[in-house]
Amino acid sequence: MADESSLLVEKLWRLKRRIDKGQCPGVDFVHLNVLLREPGYRTDVLRRVEANGSPELQALAREIMANDDGLPLMAKSPDQTLSVGAEKPAKSRGWFWRNALVLIPVIGVTVAGFTAFENRSVRISTDITADTVWETGRRYVLEDTIFVEDAHLTIEPGVTVEGESGSALIVTPSAKLFARGSRNQPVVFTSSKAPGQRARGDWGGVVLLGNAPVNQPNAAIEGIPESDPRGQFGGNDENHSCGVMQYTRIEFAGFEVYQNNELNGLTLGGCGSNTIIQHVQVHRALDDGIEMFGGTVDLKNILVTGAADDSIDWDWGWRGRVQFAIVQQHRDVGDNAFEGDNNGSSHSAIPRSEPTFYNVTLYGNGRSAKEHRAILLREGSGGHFHNMIIDSFAIEALDTRDEVTALIGTGALTFSHNLLANNGRLGSLTIVNETDDDDFGFNEELWMRSPEHQNTIQVETGLQPSVSNESSPHFRPRGSTQSMTSKRPPKSEFFDESAVYPGAVNPRATSTWLEGWVAYPEA
C-alpha cells in the first residue's frame, strides 16, 4: 500500500508542476499540500484537468483517478518521503461516486434545499447538508442565511450567487466551500437587486469557519446569535481547510445584524493554512472587506475596493501570510486600510496575531470627503510588513497603540523596504499624526525612518493618477519605484520569490493579475 501511495503522490506532484507551467487553462495554481490532504479539493482539480488540460495532462489525471481511493495523503515536503495518513474520511467511496453530483443533472428537481423554478435561476431556501454542486450557467438566489453543514458546496466557474436582504452564506467547520472560478468566468456573489439599484449592505456576505487555533475562548463569529452553536469555531488544527475561493468576487455585502454589528464581505474564522483564498475581490462592503478571526489562513492576489469600514481586519491570533494585495479606499467612506488586533481582553493572548505581508498596495485617496489611515495596530498585534506601497493617506501611514516596544524587541513586529508616499496633510513629510500618547511614548515616525529599515518616504505619490478612479482604477506604480531597495520574499510554496519590488503589481509586467475577472460597479 505504501508503494502505491508513494506512486500516487509522485503523479500528483507531476500534475501540479505541469499545471504551474500552464498546461491547464483555467487552473492557474494548485496547492500541493491541500492536493494531498484534501480529497474533495483533489477531486475538483482532477475533474478540471480532465476537462481542460493538455492531452498529456488529461492522461495523467485519468491515471490518478484510477488509483485514487479518496484517502488523504500526508506529505512532509515535496522532496521527502510521503505516506498515507492514518485518518480515514467519513466518505471513502470511489471516484465516480464522489463525482456523482457533478455528473448527474439536477434540472427540475429539489436537492439539498434548493428548487429549480426556471432554466437559469435556482432559489436557495434551506440549509445545505449534503454534497451539492451549483452549476455553470445558473444563477442561485439566497433567500435567507444559509448554513452549510457536514457537506461540500462546489460552485462552478461563471456562477452568480445573489443575496436577498437578510441572507448570507455560512460554511461551518464541518463543511467546505469550493468556489473556483476562472479568469474568464469568475464566481460572483452579489446583491439580488437589479444593477443600478444595488448598494452596500444589501445582503450579508460569505463566512467560512474552521478548526484552526484562535486565542478567544468559546469563539463565535459576529453576526450570528450567540445561542446558535453553528457560529462557533476554532480548534487545534493549524492545517485545517475551510475550502477554496479562487477567481471570486463578493459585492454589496455586509448587512447590519444588530446595532454596530455587521457581517463583512468575507469573514474567515479559524481557517487553517490549507484553506486557499486567491484571486478574490471584495467590493463595496458595508463593514470590513475581509476580516480574519484567528487561524493561519493565507491570502494571495486580493483586491478590496470601497469598504465602508476597514478593508482588511484581523483579531484573535491570526498568523497568515499575504502577498499581492490591493486596497483602494473610496472618497466618501471607510476607516483604516488595515486594522490589526490581537485580543481586547488579553493583549498578550496566545497565539498572538502576527501576519506577514509582502507586495501590498494601499491607496487612501488623500484629502477626500472621508479621510483615512493606512495601518492601525493595537491590543498586542504584531505583524511583518515589507515591499509595500502606502500612498495618499491623509490621517497617517501607521498608528500603533498599547505596548509596541516589546513586540519589536521580540521580533514580532517588523516594517521595512516600504514606500510611504504622499501621506499626511498638506504635502508634509510627517507620516504619523502623533496627537495622543496611547502607545507608552513609542514614536512610529522615528521607527519607520530608521535607516536600517530601508523605507522610502516621499512627498509625491508613487502611483499613477488613475489609481483614484473608482470605476476603472489602475494600480501600476510609477517608474521611480523601480529604484527602491526591496526585500526578497521568503522561500516557500506560498510566496513568489521573484517579486522583489514594491507594491502588488509588477512595474515591469505587460499585464497584471487583475485582468479579466475584477469589476467595479457603482450600484
CA distance 177 to 268: 12
Among 233, 50, 65, smallest CA distance to 149 is for 233
SS3 label, residue 27: coil
Q: What is the torsional sign of CA 16, 21, 24, 28?
A: positive
**What is the tens place of the pLDDT at every residue in 443-482?**
999 999 999 999 999 999 999 999 999 999 999 998 877 7
Q: What is the pLDDT of residue 257?
A: 59
Residues 6+ apart with CB under 8 A from 303: 280, 281, 282, 325, 326, 328, 514, 518
Query: Taking residues 235-258, what's their average pLDDT?
Result: 92
Phi, psi of 167 (to 5 degrees): -95, 160
Whether the Cβ atoms of residue 360 and residue 328 lie closer than 8 Å to each other: no
Position of cell 469550493?
A: 178
Q: What is the pLDDT of residue 259?
A: 55
Angle of CA points 136, 196, 260, to nearest 5°? 90
Q: What is the pLDDT of residue 483?
A: 78
Residue 490 pLDDT > 60, yes or no? yes
CA distance 351 to 476: 36
Q: Report how far apart, in Å, the C-alpha atoms of 326 and of each of 279, 353, 411, 486 are.
A: 11, 21, 26, 18
C-alpha 136 chain-centroid distance: 23
Cell numbers at 343, concatenated:
485580543
**What is the tens place of the pLDDT at every residue in 274-293?**
999 999 999 999 999 999 99
Share in percent of the chain as helix, strand, coil (round to 5): 15, 30, 55
Considering only the C-alpha atoms of the chain, give the largest distance between any 2 of them, rounded to a whole number of Å.
Answer: 70
Position of cell 519607520?
A: 448
User: Sorting pLDDT into bands at 50, 70 and 90, what band is 78?
Assistant: very low
Residue 77 pLDDT > 70, yes or no? no
Strand partners, 61: none
Position of cell 495596530?
A: 377
Q: Which of 104-113, 171-180, 247-256, 476-485 ranks highest by mean pLDDT?
A: 171-180
SS3 label, residue 127: coil
The percent of residues above 90 in pLDDT, for the chain, comes to 68
Residues 6+ apart with CB under 8 A from 247: 157, 180, 181, 182, 183, 185, 186, 187, 279, 517
Q: What is the pLDDT of residue 36?
A: 86
Residue 90 pLDDT > 60, yes or no? no
For the CA atoms of 111, 115, 121, 127, the dihedral, rounded to the nearest 10 degrees, stands at -70
Whether the Cβ atoms of residue 263 and residue 202 lie closer than 8 Å to each other: no
